[in-house]
Chain A
């Protein structure tokens, strides 16, 4: 396996909601090693560990646009709808979101309960 030494850790990202923690190699909107992708928010990024190609990156998380909490992109912690929102903030402002998003959240909750 040939992973270049690039992508060495900048620090450790840890989600303030679920506790997921992992080192990240870049924070910002222009992931390294590729010029063809621009992120629409400032993100914590690592090299995609599941791809052998060095330009493949993985967005781990970012800050909630409302409360500035550091959250992972997991569906149980945050959601992107033109901006990043943590699930706590979404709950508080649920009505602000379109029907589709609201439905998605209630559906997900019921799935979780049944689990």
Chain B
């Protein structure tokens, strides 16, 4: 029967032979499929198994004989004593230990037919049974492995301190609406409480986390620990992604996201239980959420709320929720020895100096002296900021090269993700990791294996200075609570040591808790959100710790200034839209403004780019190769344009040669992760704008695709999903071993590492990216915002400036004579700010200077030019200096006239004061008047179109308002561009001195001068300004209110003027002329006016838009006049 092959000659590792067996055992329908991971593992297992079998057989032959001789009688004797016959085979065979059998091809064939197929398959009977036995043992082995994991997991859960409180927690939650669970690090509350509730039958559970990353890891952990029995029923939801399905019973989400959900439906009907984790961290959103939930309990008697906290200030939370019951769980920390080692006077850094690394090095030395290298344990060092980290890093690395037993790693949020990940890698034996970190490692990042902690006692915190309208990053002493938290990091896996580089008396003097975020940050977004949630007056909202009243006032004022709130403090249409956007007000404004014009795509990109951390890595700036590679991306127009270029190029690279984008980024010192964040955020913005009908729900690209493309896309997606699954399988959390510094030069080892990863692994980010986004669609969007025409660029800039307003800065007039590094700028509220070194204007400040030939002297100390520029900026942050970041430059006069909130002029409009701090001087009165007048008109029509657009988006309820006509938009864009690009007017630009701003206005006049003028203006509020004096013509323009100008009645300024649109020719005052221009339109444009006036809001308009009620005091009669008719009429009486 057998062919001439002897079983002994069968080559098991011959690929052909293996393939033959694969056909029998590892078919598509079998438990293990050929070419799967397990299949590979099986053959490895099988080799070991066979070696083991051979050994056993050899040993068994000699052992068996012995057993046969003596064993028989013994066995017989015992059997009599036993009462039952278990019917067990006496001949032991390991096969009897396995409780399963496999159905494979050979067995099936034996069942189905009598034909022997051996010849055909070419595998002998013996080989088949050997393989079968191996397979049985392999499956049994994997069963044991998995069961081992399961048992270990269950044991770990039972050993957690919180396990004892399991029933108590469930009972309490059943009995009370609000329960506080307090427990320290390691007690297991974050992972276990959700599971307790799930297994107790609760569902529709939301669990909030302060950080996005925690949402993902907790969802995975809880899903894993509950053995996926809930499958997709445990999920997470963060800004860009959700694993939530209709079956989801429990979702982890950020505090901000839950607040957004409450914003959509105040009663939060989708949840029965809300767990708020880490409440002790006192983040802005968390404090606010607690306030909102407190008011929600009265509406939802069925709602269960669980607050989870470290054992910090528990009473505060309990009291806030009407003395809610507290369950306090002990933490699980090993004992930690605290050593106070205050820094001696001579090593203490003075304010401007760098940190002295010596005290930190002494700790490293101390550890080297005291603890033998075979006692493992890493060091975690807490410093206040990035600069401090690099100082100590440098010194520690020098020490490490010397001793060769430390690997020193920095850890802070501006590092690349790859570099951050290194702290989790393992050091080789005898070598310790020294991780130098900001307070990110205090709560956000947990590193196992830390035995020593060094605490500098310092932290840098962001605070908001409302007076300078500036963020400030300042160093503070930490609180006792943070100090304890840092110490605790040493005792997670075994007993530890904490070195405090301050005195015990310092510790005693620390404040007990950190200052809640709400006490120190700008509250603009918060107040806006409160308004949109109808929470009443923010001043009286019952916060757990109310913020300073001045913060709320500042926010209210700012929101009014931004047009988000009206003068009564109610939300305006744009305000309610901004409240929906999860970004800063200025970025939101940019998005809304961008929708009107054809610059949506680039605005979406820029808004997204400005809302994430910069993709340009700081560390790469000093690398000449990176700098050269970056050059083509840089735009001299400003940083937002550089970001736009980088994004567009990246999309281009992605679409042309997907997998290589990682390399492309590395060459340019770009953190690709940020670009992924940008593309996700960009999409979210687009969806939001679309859902508010601000952009077209375009003829979707999917409908444009033909079936072939769809099929292709489908196939591609399938392939991508497969890659993603494979990656998830491989990513079994294996940690890499770190290499000692010096084994190869530092930067090249980074390079190696990156390359090594690329070559043998899928770029999972690229896979996810392609799953989430349509690359052709993105490429189209990128292409449309690449190579912007001069016109598009100008329009885009205007949108940015109006969005970013009032964040404007003026270059100092003497900058041209200063070194590049000494360029200074001024904002309205802060003098002498500098440009952040990452900005294009820091490396290339000349583009902001006015060339000699572009200016002319017009008097002593007075220079005029048509080339003045201002900067709009995204951030103003004071660290060691006040820096403005992400700047864009723009022509000064045109931009200011179009975006400023307050324009005040003298009688002939040759002097214009902008927002009370900038003065524009125009010597050519005729040109001044013409320019100002067209600015007023442009602003008028821009505002009208914007209102129409914001009004029409409310189409879902009630009658749809008129949609914005694209013709009108194109016309407006055209006029704006003419204004921006083609107005050549010389003017001076300077900041007012303090004294000048104090005495800026003439103030209210006893004799208002020209009472009749007031009646000339259609808007109801055209009346003497009660504060400034002069005449308030529009909400932003006050005429003739500046003191110090020649005291002229405007009547004396009459000059002959002929209207280009009608046949008017007569002597007019500047104001009369502007008024006429504002209403006199070329015949073709009248239509627009009438369309707009039909809106219900502008009810006061009479039959034709141009006519209105005019009462003449002289003839004491009422007329229906156009303004020109009024002028003519008045002229008769003179």
Residues in chain A within 8 A of chain B (CB atoms)? 1-5, 7-9, 20-23, 25, 34-41, 43, 46-52, 55-56, 58-60, 62, 66, 72-74, 79-84, 93, 95-101
The answer to whether A58 and B99 have CB atoms under 8 Å apart is no
B103 at the interface (CB under 8 A from A): yes
Of B78, B90, B103, B229, chain A has the most CB atoms within 10 Å of the CB of B229
Tell me whether B231 and A4 are in contact (CB under 8 A). Answer: yes
Q: Which of A52, A55, A59, A96 has the most CB of B within 10 A?
A: A96
Can you list 30 A-B pairs with a CB-CB distance of less than 8 A?
A: A1-B228, A4-B231, A8-B229, A23-B227, A23-B229, A25-B229, A35-B29, A37-B101, A38-B101, A38-B103, A39-B99, A40-B101, A43-B99, A48-B146, A50-B150, A58-B143, A58-B150, A60-B150, A66-B86, A72-B151, A81-B88, A82-B89, A82-B96, A83-B86, A84-B99, A93-B86, A95-B79, A96-B84, A96-B85, A100-B92
Flag whether B98 is at the interface (Cβ < 8 A): yes
B223 on the interface (CB 8 Å rule)?
yes
The reply to whether B147 and A73 contact each other, CB–CB distance below 8 Å, is: yes
* CB–CB A60/B92 < 8 A: no
Given A47-B228, A60-B150, A93-B84, decide whether A101 and B29 contact each other with a Cβ distance below 8 A. no
A64 shortest CB reach to chain B, Å: 12
B86 to chain A: closest residue by CB: A96
For A74, give its contact among B151, B224, B243, B725 (CB under 8 Å): B151
Number of contact residues on B: which range applies? Answer: 35 or more
Given A20-B151, A50-B146, A58-B146, A36:B104 Cβ within 8 A: yes
Please determine whether B146 and A51 come into contact, CB atoms closer than 8 angstroms.
Answer: yes
Across-interface contacts of A38 in B (CB, < 8 A):
100-103
Are B154 and A20 within 8 A (Cβ)?
yes
Contact of B81 among A46, A95, A100 (CB under 8 A): A95
Q: Check A80–B97 contact: CB distance below 8 A.
A: yes
B141 contacts the other chain (Cβ, under 8 Å)? no
Check A40 against B99 for contact (C-beta < 8 Å). Answer: yes
- For residue B232, CB closer than 8 A to chain A, the reply is yes
Write out the residue numbers on chain B whose beta carbons fall within 8 Å of the beta carbon of A95. 75, 78-79, 81-82
Determine how close the nearest CB of chain B comes to the CB of A28; give it in whole angstroms: 13
User: Cβ of A96: which chain B residues have Cβ within 8 Å of it?
Assistant: 78-79, 82, 84-86, 88
Known: A9-B229, A58-B146. A36 touches B151 (CB 8 A): no
Question: 1/0 contact trace for B1065-1085 toward A, CB 8 Å?
Answer: 000000000000000000000
Q: Is B149 an interface residue (CB 8 A)?
A: yes
Closest chain A residue, CB of each to CB of B67: A99
Interface members, chain B 8-59 (any A CB < 8 Å): 29-31
Where the two chains meet, the residues of B that have a C-beta atom closer than 8 Å to any C-beta of A are 29-31, 67, 71, 75, 78-79, 81-82, 84-86, 88-92, 96-104, 139, 143, 146-147, 149-151, 154, 220, 223-224, 227-229, 231-232, 243, 247, 725, 728-729
CB distance from B984 to the nearest CB of A (A): 63
Q: A48-B146, A49-B150 are in contact. Are A101 and B103 (CB under 8 A)?
A: no
Is A99 touching B149 in the complex (CB atoms < 8 A)?
Answer: no
Tell me whether B81 and A99 are in contact (CB under 8 A). Answer: no
Q: Tell me which of B82, B98, B100, B147 contacts A60 (CB under 8 A).
A: B147
- How far, in whole Å, are A62 and B29 apart by their CA atoms in the complex? 27
B108's closest neighbor in chain A, by CB? A36
Task: Tell me which residues across on chain B come within 8 A of A41, comparing CB atoms.
Answer: 99
Residues of A within 8 Å of B102, CB to CB, are 36-38
Report yes or no: B101 in contact with A59, Cβ–Cβ below 8 A.
Answer: no
Partner of B88, one of A20, A23, A97: A97
Q: Which residues of A contact B725 (CB under 8 A)?
A: 2, 52
The answer to whether B232 touches A3 (Cβ under 8 A) is yes
Collect the chain A residues with CB atoms within 8 Å of residue B224's CB.
49
B150 neighbours in A (Cβ, 8 Å): 22, 49-50, 58, 60
Q: Which chain A positions have C-beta within 8 A of B231?
A: 3-5, 7-8
Contact yes or no, A82 B88, CB < 8 A: yes
A19 to chain B, nearest CB (A): 8
- Contact yes or no, B79 A35, CB < 8 A: no
CA distance A3 to B143 in the complex (A): 19
Q: How many angstroms from the CA of A113 to the CA of B78 in the assembled complex?
A: 27
Give B229's nearest chain A residue, CB to CB.
A23
Inter-chain pairs besides A22-B229, A93-B82, A93-B84, 4 sampled, C-beta below 8 Å: A7-B231, A23-B227, A59-B100, A98-B88
CA distance A37 to B243 in the complex (A): 32
A52 B79 Cβ-Cβ under 8 A? no
Q: Which residues of A contact B143 (CB under 8 A)?
A: 58-59, 73
Report the 10 A-B pairs with minimum CB-CB distance, sorted nearest first.
A95-B78, A49-B227, A98-B92, A3-B231, A100-B92, A80-B99, A96-B86, A36-B31, A36-B103, A82-B96
DSSP majority for the A interface?
Answer: loop
Instruction: Select from chain B the residue with minimum beta-carbon distance to A39.
Output: B100
Q: Output the residue of A23, A49, A60 with the most chain B CB within 10 A.
A: A49
B30 touching A36, Cβ below 8 Å: yes
- The residue on B at minimum CB distance from A29 is B100
Chain A residues within 8 Å of B243, by CB: 1
| Bound CA–CA A95/B90 (angstroms) | 11
Q: How far is the CA of A56 from the CA of B30 in the complex (A)?
A: 11
Closest to B153 in A: A49
Chain B's nearest CB lies how many Å from the CB of A98? 4
Closest Cβ–Cβ distance, residue A78 to chain B (whole Å): 10
Task: Give bound CA distance, A50 to B78, whole Å.
Answer: 43
B100, closest chain A residue (CB): A39
Nearest CB of chain B from residue A27's CB, rounded to whole Å: 14
In the assembled complex, how far is the CB of residue B137 from the closest CB belonging to chain A, in whole angstroms?
13
Closest CB in chain B relative to A74 CB, distance in Å = 6
Residue of B nearest to A95 (CB): B78
* Chain A CB within 10 A, most for which of B231, B232, B729: B231
Of A8, A20, A46, A99, which is within 8 A of B92 by CB? A99
Q: How far is the CA of A50 from the CA of B728 in the complex (A)?
A: 12
When distances are taken between beta carbons in the complex, the residues of chain A under 8 Å from B729 are 52
Chain B positions within 8 Å of A25 at CB level: 229
Contact A35 B103 (CB under 8 A): yes
> Which residue in chain B gives the minimum CB-CB distance to A21?
B154
Could you tell me the distance in whole angstroms from the C-beta of B133 to the nearest C-beta in chain A? 15
Q: Which residues of B contact A82 (CB under 8 A)?
A: 88-89, 96
- B721's nearest neighbour on chain A, judged by CB, is A2
> Once bound together, how far apart are the Cα atoms of A81 and B99, in whole Å?
8
CA distance A79 to B307 in the complex (A): 45
Question: Using Cβ atoms and an 8 Å threshold, which residues of chain B touch A22?
Answer: 150, 154, 227, 229
When the two chains form their complex, are residues A5 and B149 in contact, meaning their CB atoms are under 8 A apart?
no
Tell me the minimal C-beta distance from A2 to chain B in angstroms.
8
**A90 nearest CB neighbor, chain B only:** B86
Contact B728 A1 (CB under 8 A): yes
Which residues in B have their C-beta under 8 angstroms from that of A99? 67, 71, 92
CB of B722, distance to nearest CB on chain A (Å): 12
Contacts of A97 in B (CB 8 A): 88
A49, B86: Cα distance in complex, Å: 35
Give CA–CA (A48, B229) in the complex, Å. 10
With a CB–CB cut-off of 8 A, which chain A residues contact B67? 99
Residues of A within 8 A of B139 (CB): 37
From A49, A80, A84, contact of B98 by CB (8 A):
A80
Residue numbers in B under 8 Å from A8 (CB-CB): 229, 231
User: How far apart are A92's CB and chain B's nearest CB, in angstroms?
Assistant: 9
Min Cβ gap B803→A in Å is 40
Residues of B close to A56: CB separation below 8 A: 31
Distance in angstroms from B60 CB to nearest chain A CB is 10
Measured between C-beta atoms, what is the minimum distance from A77 to chain B in Å? 10
Inter-chain contact A37/B97, CB cutoff 8 Å: no
Q: Once bound together, how far apart are the Cα atoms of A50 and B97, in whole Å?
A: 23
